[in-house]
Amino acid sequence: MKKILIYGDSNTWGDNFILGKRIEDEKQWPNILQRKLGSEYKILQEGLPGRLAGNEETLKTYKNGKESFISTFRTNAPVDTLIISLGTNDLQMKYNKSSEKVIEDLLWYKKTISDMYEDIDDRKKYFNSKFPDIIYILPANFDYKVNASIIFDKNSETKRKEIIDYFQKNNLKSIFINNIPLFDDGLHYNFDGHKIMSEEVFKKIINYR
């Protein structure tokens, strides 16, 4: 059985803006993906609302992605594929981060896994001597002109595009969607959005077999 660890934010978790709670398990894109892939795969869903790629959150520090990543990876290891679905929350106005800093934080995950793999003991215990595929789900479209405008602005959208451009130009394994359907908050995937994301990730995983 192949294991896929998805380390992400509220869209990985399945935030339902309409009801103010989590959407049903079977409608969350990681679980839709599980059904598409079948019993040969096991999806390990590690999403958290508000999670950052970096460590800028000073009050609710549990949202700092770097802080909990290594323990999360070790807990679920070994995995065949690691999916990092972060970066959107880093674009919030309050963090005042440049696109270069968000990119640096996203690439930290790949470097951290590489460093662990170089350790002989870690390689044997947490990798089964096989380096996992690493796929990034880059920040999807959001509408800063609606409810999300209290969190994001036009600069957030500019930075989002710069992040996507960097990953494309450097041929990093990544997925990005510029027209995913959203709830009325202009930020979280709606039910159709979860279906679309599951299909995009499914195609990417199949291509990497």
pLDDT of 148 strictly over 60: no
| Range name among 106-120, 142-156, 161-175 with the lowest pLDDT average | 142-156
Task: Tell me how far apart the alpha carbons of residues 44 and 4 are, in angstroms, rounded to a whole number.
Answer: 6
pLDDT of 131 strictly over 70: yes
Q: What is the mean pLDDT of residues 156-176?
A: 97
CATH number at residue 173: 3.40.50.1110
Q: What is the mean pLDDT of residues 11-21?
A: 90
Two tokens, residue 40:
């040969």
The total number of structural domains in the chain stands at: 1
Q: What is the pLDDT of residue 129?
A: 79
Two tokens, residue 35:
């059904």
| Range name among 31-40, 115-124, 139-148, 164-173 with the lowest pLDDT average | 139-148
Q: Range of 15's domain? A: 2-207
Supply the pTM of this predicted model: 0.96
Q: What is the pLDDT of residue 146?
A: 75
- Alpha helix stretches (DSSP H) within 92-153: 99-118, 120-126
Q: Is the distance from CB of 3 to CB of 80 less than 8 angstroms?
A: yes
CB 180: neighbour CB atoms within 10 A? Answer: 19
pLDDT band of 19, cuts 50, 70, 90: confident
pLDDT digits (tens, 9 = 90+) for 24-71: 999 999 999 999 999 999 999 999 999 999 999 999 999 999 999 999
pLDDT of 149 strictly over 70: no
